[in-house]
């Protein structure tokens, strides 16, 4: 027997609990934060650890209890006037100090502007790994076959994330702790809020360096909330540059395509009682067509630089399906692609294909659905 077949069990000792960095806005935890608490609960229960909510800010008040109501066992909070607004340097200092002193086993962030800034910095400073955009967390052993033996790292978190077009990858941080992830919204269901839940609440006293406050917040402005709810819609009908011409090459009024798509969306909403929404490709939005002014707006963009969605049905009308678009919609349950070009890349990932133009597809589809 060669020594390479020997199994060597490795356990990283001295680290406990699953921490969740809790984002809050206007005195409330954000919804994705409550989702991540549910995700943390899942792995913590598996390994018999606690879920700890970490809150940083100023005048937190009763907010410090909220993580417990949503399923955490414990809260550590840091309340300081200098932490009123999110700023990467002092927040990194506070959170890294907590991590280095209290040694959590895992630390989860929301995939958001803050989670994608603070998470990486804390991971770097505490010399550990970070898996971004995680969609699931599973506890499993990580096996590494080396010439010196078969190493089994016990009870690691497999941090599941999408990997290129049609694969998922499991990211492991076998030798370093905490295991840090940012979790994409929409993958865990928040636990019901329960005010009868109790848990320990601990205050953390921060220690800053002088150069933590180099950056000054000059102004904070609320972005007007968009009425477009692409992420929540069950059926999304998206338009691309195919609105410009029909199959014969004749120029068409894009407004007509929009009206037809809207008719179809309304019809589906009425008939099946589900939310529908109109989306668009980046190309169409950036074309800034006069006819679509105020209708096809930036908040409707689906794709890498727009929204990532996974509705039950996605209808791509006149969208060729560049990679940047596909990453934003390829997880849709049913994809219907309508395009005049049979070689358009969108057909590679579509469940249903219609080779033809949208000016022919839409009226026919509306007529058939009416009769159904």
Residue closer to another protein by CB (options 186, 356) is 356
Token pair recorded at residue 260? 């037809």
What residues between 41 and 80 interact with another protein by CB under 8 A? none
Cα(83)–Cα(91) distance, rounded to whole angstroms?
7
CB 50, CB 18: distance < 8 Å: yes
> Among 257, 233, 270, 253, which Cα is nearest to 361's?
257
In the bound complex, what is the minimum distance in angstroms from residue 197's beta carbon to another protein?
A: 26
Residue closer to another protein by CB (options 225, 250) is 225
11 touches another protein by CB under 8 A: no
What lies within 8 Å, CB to CB, of 200 at 6+ separation is 73, 74, 75
Buried b / exposed e over 303-314, threshold 16 CB at 10 Å, is beebbbbebebb
Contact with another protein (CB under 8 A): which of 164, 195, 227, 248?
Answer: 164
197 touches another protein by CB under 8 A: no
In the bound complex, what is the minimum distance in angstroms from residue 133's beta carbon to another protein?
A: 6
Contact with another protein (CB under 8 A): which of 223, 250, 251, 343?
Answer: 223
214 touches another protein by CB under 8 A: yes
What residues between 80 and 119 interact with another protein by CB under 8 A? 85-89, 92, 112-114, 116-117, 119
> Among 215, 233, 245, which Cα is nearest to 340's?
245
173 touches another protein by CB under 8 A: yes
What lies within 8 Å, CB to CB, of 123 at 6+ separation is 129, 130, 180
131 touches another protein by CB under 8 A: yes
CB 24, CB 112: distance < 8 Å: no
> Among 340, 327, 222, 336, which Cα is nearest to 281's?
327
What residues between 245 and 304 interact with another protein by CB under 8 A? 268, 271-274, 298, 304
What residues between 14 and 43 interact with another protein by CB under 8 A? 23, 25, 30
What residues between 307 and 336 interact with another protein by CB under 8 A? 312-313, 323-324, 327, 333-336
142 touches another protein by CB under 8 A: yes
Contact with another protein (CB under 8 A): which of 68, 158, 340, 344?
Answer: 158
Cα(141)–Cα(131) distance, rounded to whole angstroms?
17
């Amino acid at each position: 027997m060669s020594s390479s077949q020997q199994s060597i069990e490795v356990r990283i000792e001295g680290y406990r609990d699953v921490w969740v960095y809790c984002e809050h806005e206007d005195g409330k935890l954000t919804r994705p934060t409550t989702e991540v608490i549910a995700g943390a609960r899942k792995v913590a229960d598996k390994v018999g650890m606690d879920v700890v909510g970490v809150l940083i800010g100023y005048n937190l008040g009763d907010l410090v209890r909220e993580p417990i109501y949503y399923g955490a066992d414990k809260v550590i909070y840091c309340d300081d006037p200098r932490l009123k607004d999110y700023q990467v340097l002092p927040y990194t200092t506070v959170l890294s100090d907590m991590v280095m002193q209290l040694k959590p086993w895992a630390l989860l962030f929301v995939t958001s502007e803050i989670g994608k800034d603070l998470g990486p910095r804390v991971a770097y400073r505490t010399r550990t790994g970070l898996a971004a955009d995680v969609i699931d967390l599973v506890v499993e052993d990580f096996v590494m076959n080396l010439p010196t033996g078969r190493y089994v790292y016990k009870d690691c978190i497999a941090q599941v994330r999408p990997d290129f077009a049609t694969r998922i990858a499991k990211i492991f941080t076998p030798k370093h702790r905490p295991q840090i992830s940012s979790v994409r919204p929409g993958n865990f269901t928040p636990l019901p809020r329960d005010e009868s839940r109790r848990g320990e609440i601990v205050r953390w006293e921060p220690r800053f360096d002088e150069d933590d406050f180099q950056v000054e917040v000059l102004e904070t402005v609320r972005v007007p909330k968009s009425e477009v709810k692409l992420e929540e819609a069950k059926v999304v009908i998206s338009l691309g540059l195919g609105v410009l011409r029909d199959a014969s090459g004749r120029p068409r009024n894009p407004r007509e395509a929009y009206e037809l798509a809207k008719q179809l969306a309304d019809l589906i909403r009425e008939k099946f009682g589900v939310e529908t929404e109109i989306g668009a490709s980046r190309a169409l939005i950036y074309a800034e067509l006069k006819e679509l002014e105020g209708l096809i707006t930036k908040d409707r963009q689906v794709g890498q630089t727009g929204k990532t969605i996974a509705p039950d049905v996605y209808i791509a009308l006149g969208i060729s399906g560049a990679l940047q678009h596909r990453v934003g919609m390829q997880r849709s349950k049913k994809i219907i692609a309508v395009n005049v070009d049979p070689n358009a890349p969108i057909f590679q990932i579509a469940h249903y294909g219609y080779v033809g133009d949208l000016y022919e597809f839409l009226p026919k589809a509306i007529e058939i659905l009416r009769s159904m």
